[in-house]
Amino acid sequence: MAKGLVKSAERVFLILEFFAETRQPCRLSEIATNLGLPVSSVSMLLQCMVEKGYMDFDSKTYGYMPSGRIGHLTSWIGAGNYEQHLVLDEMWRLREATQESVVLATPIGIYLEYVETVQGSESIRMKRGTRRLLVQTGTGWLFLSRISEDEALSIYRQTVAAELLDRSRFSETQFLQKLASHRDTDLSFVHARELVSPTAHWGAAMLSMLIPVPPGHRKLAIGAHGLSERLTEKRDQISAELARISQNLSDHVQQPH
């Protein structure tokens, strides 16, 4: 298959993922700029999607928006309804209430992965699929604090063995202290500048909470991410929203289905 066709196919998915995050009509220039793609390439793909009925175009506002036909393509898929319907709706409510970016995270091995993101109006852009070390994130410490100390230490030691964490800068004793501080709390509020490992968003912070999941479902946490100063000012508001989300999801999980 020609490389150009593969690249075009990849860009179609990038466009759809962009709209999944923004959930509103956007102009060609806005889409191309956010994705870092040539305007001419994005224009060609959007026109093709419009012709096929998968994208709507408003000639008055010049805005593009995926059509209902996109949803129809995947409406038969039942897997992931809890995350993609209930949890994602709660993420959008949190975003609307706080205007900050919201992430959905799960532990994978020694990592914390952002499996879903909703971008805030003025926040640092977060990408779906981004991974952070469990032992160096507040959300990760929440997950680790809910398993046995031996299991948590094993993850710490695996991280050190992989040379992803310097034991001399973050010892087992320090790790266990962090772990203990998260055992008796439902919320984690951590500033990037407090972390040992380098981060691309040094002036940012994350306020996060583990959320209820159905039996057998993977572990999940929701977090609000943004500049430290703004999250500090909004801490009470975000905490209240996270508590509301946890209660709503808990009620759903406990209901007989």
When comparing pLDDT for 255 and 116, which is higher? 116
Q: Distance between CA atoms of 201 and 194, rounded to whole angstroms?
A: 12
Q: What is the CATH number of the domain that holds 185?
A: 3.30.450.40
Res. 1: pLDDT tops 50: no
Same domain membership, residue 164 and residue 133: yes
Same domain membership, residue 7 and residue 93: no
Q: Please state, rounded to an integer, the average pLDDT across all residues of the chain.
A: 86
Torsion sign across C-alpha atoms 132, 135, 136, 139? positive
Domain boundary among 47, 74, 101: 74
Res. 22: pLDDT tops 90: no
Same domain membership, residue 197 and residue 180: yes
Same domain membership, residue 165 and residue 101: yes
Q: Distance between CA atoms of 119 and 127, rounded to whole angstroms?
A: 9
pLDDT 10s digits, 88-133: 889 999 998 998 999 999 999 999 999 988 888 665 667 788 888 9
For 61, phi then psi, to 5°, come to -100, -10
Task: Identify the domain containing residue 155 by its residue range.
Answer: 81-254
Are the C-beta atoms of 226 and 119 separated by less than 8 Å? Answer: no
β-strand partners of 112: 107, 132
pLDDT of residue 80: 58
Q: What is the CATH number of the domain that holds 48?
A: 1.10.10.10
Of 125, 122, 119, 128, the closest CA to residue 92 belongs to: 119
Same domain membership, residue 109 and residue 51: no
Same domain membership, residue 241 and residue 182: yes
Domain boundary among 36, 56, 74: 74
